[in-house]
Amino acid sequence: MTDDEEEQAASLRAFVVSSDGIIAKTALQYVDFVRCHRRVVDARKWFKLKSERGIDLYTERIELREAPCNMRRSLPDDCSSSGSFGVLRTTMVSAFGGGTLTGTLDEVMDGLYSDTTEQMQLSAPIQYGSILDCGVVRTFRTRSDAKPHEFFGVKFVEKCSHVPGTIDELCWVERMDTMVTAGRRFGFQLMKSVETEDRMSDQSVHRVNMSVCYLYYQAAPDKVDVFIRGIVELPGSNKRQRRQETINAAGDYILATIRGRECRRMKTIATLIEKSKTERENLNACHCSKFVRGLDKVEMCSGCQESMRRPKLIALSDVDSRKGGSNVPSESLRGTKLMSRYGSTRDDGDLPDTVTSYCESKSFRMMLPIRDPRPSSNYRTKRRNRENILTTMLRKHEQERERERRSSATTTTSSV
């Protein structure tokens, strides 16, 4: 191991040790807030910044002060070795928040987890809104079978600012996992912003510096308590508007994690869509409509032609014979005219011999009787009010998982 690798390993170990202490302290503060303060916030000390989806965020009421570099350390390695950062005039403001989310602890942690740029790109728009770029810069630890929610690495996000023409940027070291304390299972997420070399190079970019620790606890079967403690670094500018812009940007980043369950749902939907595409392709026995090197195939296969020549309408009196395998068209429906969405008409069960290409056959693929098959129905109204197809896919998937879980639990109980 080289000297640089040894130095990096030592820094990572120091960060883990220090962050363990911060997480333990946050857990004690959560217990104190629930048991001693009865979840009541002291309005004389804390100013409510914003509230979203049941989570309230507060900032400490504190006067502007000048803090040297060694006084700004809320987490390890807060300062760069460069001496120029030590003279920055800043204000460190404490942030505090809490509330309740709907769902389970595993759902929230699964939604927040991302160890690749591709995974982060799925969840970042839901968490941070109008993002410009995001990614996982480096990973030190990722999840395993023993620790399905463990992550330790560096991430970044660039998003549109509240101020037109500017960009809010956040680059941070993140550590997340679950732990058991006093017989209770908690989830934690630690975010510590890191300095970049071009900190003062671009005036159109507002870099947010903060250190935040999140604690998640399953308070009820479908309720997760969220407890937030952290510090936000405000710029040393005397302009009150500039400081408020930084606070607003930090508030957006801090509350972004409350959408963990939504991120998990979006990841599940993306997986189901990809699975559905694969299943449809496997079920497709006709390849005449496939693209070959970007070009449409010209000839329509015999299978499609045969399928299109089959009668589409059947009389109720012939239903039983059709179930028995008969393909004889209904006498009462012979000569019925069908119309496509393009306006083409043809007799049921009849396909012109001239229709051989895929492009020509488009007009004959979707045929309906010319007469209205639903003259007195509210079909279109029901269709508009129907559940979104993606929501339906997700609901069925969750129901299937719940049945599997109950079946597994029943099997385990019976074996015991």
Task: Classify residue 389: in a domain, yes or no.
Answer: no
The verdict on 297 and 353 lying in the same domain is yes
Q: How far is CA 288 from CA 194, 304, 344, 353, 363, in A?
A: 55, 8, 21, 17, 15
Does pLDDT of 76 surpass 80? no
- Our CA angle for 412, 187, 124, nearest 5°, is 110
Q: What is the mean pLDDT of residues 326-337?
A: 56
Length of the chain: 416
Specify burial of residue 172 (Cβ count, 10 A radius: 0-12, 13-18, 19+). buried
Q: What is the 3-state secondary structure (H, E, C) of 303-371?
A: HHHHHHHCCCCCCHHHHHHHHCCCCCCCHHHCCCEEEECCCCEEECCCCCCCCCEHHHHHHHHCEEECC
The residue range of the domain holding 353 is 292-312+337-373
Supply φ then ψ for residue 57, to 5 degrees. Answer: -120, 130
The residue that leads in pLDDT, 168 or 372, is: 168
The yes-or-no verdict on residue 351 having pLDDT over 60 is no
Q: Same domain for 188 and 298?
A: no
Q: What is the mean pLDDT of the chain?
A: 75
36 and 110 within one domain = yes
User: 384-388, long-range: CB within 8 Å, 24+ apart, which pairs?
Assistant: none
pLDDT value at residue 402: 86
- Same domain (yes/no): 231, 306: no
pLDDT one-digit tens code per residue, 173-208: 999 999 998 888 999 999 999 877 655 556 677 788
Give the span between the Cα atoms of 73 and 125, in whole angstroms.
30
* pLDDT value of residue 317: 53
Q: Using pLDDT thresholds of 50, 70 and 90, give the confidence band for residue 116.
A: very high
Residues 351 and 243 occupy one common structural domain: no
CATH classification of the domain holding 30: 3.30.530.20
Q: Is 54 within the bounds of a domain?
A: yes
Q: Is residue 414 part of a domain?
A: no
Tokens 């929501």 found at:
391
Lowest-pLDDT range of 71-85, 99-113, 119-133, 275-289? 71-85
Q: Do 304 and 238 reside in the same domain of the chain?
A: no
Give a yes or no: residue 22 inside a domain.
yes
Residues 306 and 230 in one domain: no
Same structural domain for residues 106 and 204?
yes
Same domain, 355 and 223: no
Tell me which residue has tokens 């957006």: 252
pLDDT at residue number 360: 47
Contact 173, 154 (CB under 8 A): yes
On whether residue 378 sits in a domain, the answer given is: no
- Tell me the pLDDT tens digit for each residue of 17-28: 999 999 999 999
- Tell me, yes or no, whether 283 lies in a domain: no
- Do residue 11 and residue 157 come from a single domain? yes
- Co-location of 205 and 80 in the same domain: yes
Task: Round to whole Å and give the CA distance between 239 and 249.
Answer: 16
**Are 125 and 231 within one domain?**
yes
State residue 192's pLDDT score: 93
Q: Nearest-CA neighbor of 90 among 235, 306, 222, 228?
A: 235
Burial class (CB in 10 A: 0-12, 13-18, 19+), 98: buried
For residue 307, tell me if it sits in a domain: yes
Q: End-to-end distance of the chain based on CA atoms, in angstroms?
A: 50
DSSP 18: H
Rounded Cα–Cα distance for residues 68 and 92 (Å): 11
pTM comes to 0.67
pLDDT confidence bin for 61, thresholds 50/70/90: confident
Looking at residue 309, its pLDDT comes to 60
Residue 52 in domain: yes
Q: Inform me whether the pLDDT recorded for 330 exceeds 70.
A: no
Q: Quote the number of domains for the chain.
A: 2
- Round to whole Å and give the CA distance between 356 and 368: 21
Q: Would you put residue 93 in left (φ > 0), alpha (ψ -120 to 50) or beta?
A: beta
